[in-house]
Structure 1
Amino acid sequence: MAVTLTEAAAERVNTMLAKRGSGLGLRVATKVSGCAGFAYVVDYADEINDDDQVFESHGVKVVVDSKSLGNIDGMEIDYVRESLLNEGFEFNNPNVKDSCGCGESFTV
Structure 2
Amino acid sequence: MADQSEDEIRERLKTALWFSIGKIVDEESMRRNRNATPQFIGALTDMVWSQIENVAIDLESFSRHANRTTVTTDDVLLLARRNQDLHSIVKDIVDKEKTRKLRAKAKGKGRA
TM-score by length of 2: 0.28
Using CA pairs below 8 Å that are at least 6 residues apart, which structure has the higher relative contact order? 1
Greater per-residue helix proportion: 2
TM-score by length of 1: 0.29
Greater per-residue strand proportion: 1
Structure with larger Rg: 2
